[in-house]
Structure 1
Amino acid sequence: MSIALIAGAGALPLALVEAARAAGAPRPFVAALDGFAPEGLAPDLTFRIERLYPFFAALHERGVTRIAFAGAVRRPRLDPALFDPLTAGIVPRLMATLAQGDDATLREVIALFEEDGFAILGAGEVAPALLPPEGVLAGRITPRDQQDAARAALIVSALGRVDVGQGCVVQQGLCLGAETLAGTDAMLAGVAALPQDLRPDPAGGRGLLFKAPKPLQDRRIDLPALGVQSVRNAARAGLGGIAWEAGGTLCLDLPAMRAAAEETGLFLWSRPPGTGA
């Protein structure tokens, strides 16, 4: 067994395991951070940050050489009584990066795994089917949608450079919401709750949800993700569709997403990277 999946909360870890299985690849060894169990997937091992080096040793004992990350993890509360001597030695290093933001923390996590001899894979390398090709995959887009997507790409790029979010909602050039720590669903709920007099006339374009990686992030970890619930929440927010950066955004169940988009009248657009950002 050579690949381990470091799983966080949410549906992404299971989607990645199922996509790998459908491609004929062996099931990865699944390790979950304590307190952040994935949905519908029983981990083979649960670990704590305070005992990171014993966790590394357990992976080596199982023949793991490659690591992929998937799922949501918030910054855990550390218990000083649980540290082993080796992990205690890197506490200052971890605390320094935690103060710098999510991107710096994730880069440090990757560095720690690599220093212990593990190769880091992106989720798309484990399950390429989760990264749809470029193109309009449901519905149709208009020139107004193209303009809104270009505007949204600029906003997400600007926010990403200061390590804030991977998504926003734009309607007729106006930003109705930007993704923060609460995530995409919370942003869409906020857009749905906006008074109509704050939103443009939908006859001129219903707007869209756009998602893309942060410009400076390591794309082997924490790629933005979309699923069926994203489609349904975008419809509840009165939007016309969803666009994302092709090759940089994971779609957890594209057939189900397309079915939901057709049902709700939304478009799905896997947009070429670098256009308008």
Structure 2
Amino acid sequence: MSSQSTEKGVAPSIDVQNLSYLFPDGSSGLKEVFLNLPPGSRTLLIGANGAGKTTLLRLLSGKRMAPEGSVSIAGVDPFKTGLEGVTYLGLEWVLNPIVRTDIDVPTLLASVGGDHYHERRDELVRILDIDLSWRMHAVSDGERRRVQLAMGLLRPWTILLLDEITVDLDLLSRSNFLNFLKRETETRPCTIVYATHILDNLATWPTHLVHMSLGKVKKWGSIEDLNVKPDPSATAYTGNSQLGELVLRWLQEDLDERGPRNAKRSEGKSYESLEGKGGYGLEKKA
């Protein structure tokens, strides 16, 4: 797999055309996905668990091979070309065992280029409120996640794909982190796709939204196209309420379309017969 850099000074676009993807067991992961996210955009990827968000992000990152011609990052296939500057931070990155060993923060940051990118290193340490004296086996999950984010973002990237990686951050750390990402897209050529269920502090953050359900993209577009118009001078609560209401409506529509999770499984069966098989919470039949 060859490697290529995106054009210097130009943020990459993300183009997905009729992308369908099957898992190795033959089950469907994605169905006929179309997307066109412009250079410099900040996209929120919204959907319930199992909607296909992680699968899409992994295909965009080049970690999985997409069908020929279906995924293009800056005009090329990210799997075949191996684009430099594409950073994917997801579950496998979060579970890296090295960040739970008896090791100090400066050593970890140096291992991913901290001495070379010392200005970015110092900025991330400040923004994420990292104590350089921390030893990783003796900190909380939230503190450990701050160090992981600094490691993942230390080298300048042009495409950043984030998969639910801020869940352990406290409100202030998450707010500072999101402000850093927004400033990145405003001051240098880069593009972000961020899958999250947490909408706090996101009132004025995204430029685009993508709504996924059951492996399909149901809606996507710019904030303006989707009629989400947060007033930057208004309170964060007002803006977040509008964005939150839109996302909640989407997720309720998904639930209504899918139906009760246990409906088919429990048809004609008693409550007792389902105990121990995922049937807890169903009403007992007379």
Instruction: Give the TM-score normalised by the residue count of structure 2.
Output: 0.29
Rg: which structure is higher? 2
- Relative contact order, higher structure (CA 8 A, sep 6+): 2
Greater share of helix: 1
